[in-house]
Amino acid sequence: MPSSAFARERERVLGVWKLEAFDVEFQDTGERKPAFGANPNGYIIFTGEGRMMALLTAEGRSIPQTDAECAAAFRSMYAYAGTYRL
């Protein structure tokens, strides 16, 4: 049975979290750049059942109309779902 400290920590991550920034840092120089613009969109969700989902999209992303736009839209997002544990 999980300890009460563990249960409290798990409760702290449960819920829906909105993305505020998404930067990449280059290891060789330490330079940081916004990967999806200054105002990316995204959410991460943690459930009490041990499941999570994340979706990140670039700022200014529009609905694609052509194959080339679909490819560009695919490159301007990340999505992941799975299980987690603490």
Query: Using H for helix, E for strand and C for coil, what is the string for the chain?
Result: CCCHHHHHHHHHHCEEEECCCCEEECCCCCCEEEECECCCEEEEEECCCCEEEEEEECCCCCCCCCHHHHHHHHHCEEEEEEECCC
Return the pLDDT at 4: 75
pLDDT band (50, 70, 90) for residue 6: low
Locus of tokens 């909105």: 18
Return the pLDDT at 3: 66
Return the pLDDT at 28: 96
24 within 8 A of 35, measured Cβ to Cβ: yes
pLDDT digits (tens, 9 = 90+) for 7-60: 787 788 899 999 999 999 999 999 999 999 999 999 999 999 999 999 999 999
